[in-house]
Amino acid sequence: MSRKTAIMKGLRNFAATAAMTVGFLAMGFSLEQVSASQTTNADTATVTAPAKPAKKPKLAKPADQNFKHGKIVRFDSPYKAGTIVIVSQTHNLYYILGDGRAVKYRIATAKTGFEWSGTHKISRKVEWPDWYPPKEMRQRRPDLPAYMAGGPDNPLGARAIYLGSSLYRIHGTNEPSSIGRPASSGCIRMLNEAVTELFARVKVGDTVIVM
């Protein structure tokens, strides 16, 4: 091979290598990755695609993000994340986050004579629920209607979370002053903003423990 032919071939190899290098850089590879994948001499130019950079793992959003109407507290318990624990005596509801933490909400609980405890699964979720006062309640309160459409004046408030096949619910209220007191006939009352926040996170089938 003449000196002139060798020079021309080397220039062609150099041009090809440079073009491929620019292409790899455009694809997001670093210069170090591209350099490590190339070998060039006067007669040959071998370029192999560098290993693709590893994808960055998507970071999970913190479990306590965007809780505006409850307070993140320490709550050591054996219950899994997503469980609701209601402590009637202190008028607190805890939404378990896991890792020894929970979101605490203030609630209104059952008044004297209507207390109860037990475990249920969430069976239904309803926005702006209608209200059908039970027969027993209407006997105690003849002024109550047989039916009230959902809305701001409805005692069930903005959201209702139904507990199993029982008559009990976790729901909003049109009496915000009752929160923090024993005031209901067995249901769990929350501020409308708080129950709306909880409603968005719980699922049908989640466990609710009342103690």
Active-site residues, by number, are 171, 187
The rounded distance, in Å, linking the Cα atoms of 169 and 133 is: 13
d(CA 45, CA 207): 66
Could you tell me which residues come within 8 angstroms of residue 51 by beta carbon, excluding any fewer than 6 positions away?
33
d(CA 51, CA 137): 72
Helix, strand, coil % (nearest 5) of the chain? 25, 30, 50
C-alpha 194/C-alpha 151 separation (Å) is 16
Q: How would you classify residue 19: left for phi > 0, otherwise alpha for psi between -120 and 50, otherwise beta?
A: alpha
Q: Please, are residues 196 and 178 in contact by the beta-carbon 8 Å criterion? A: no
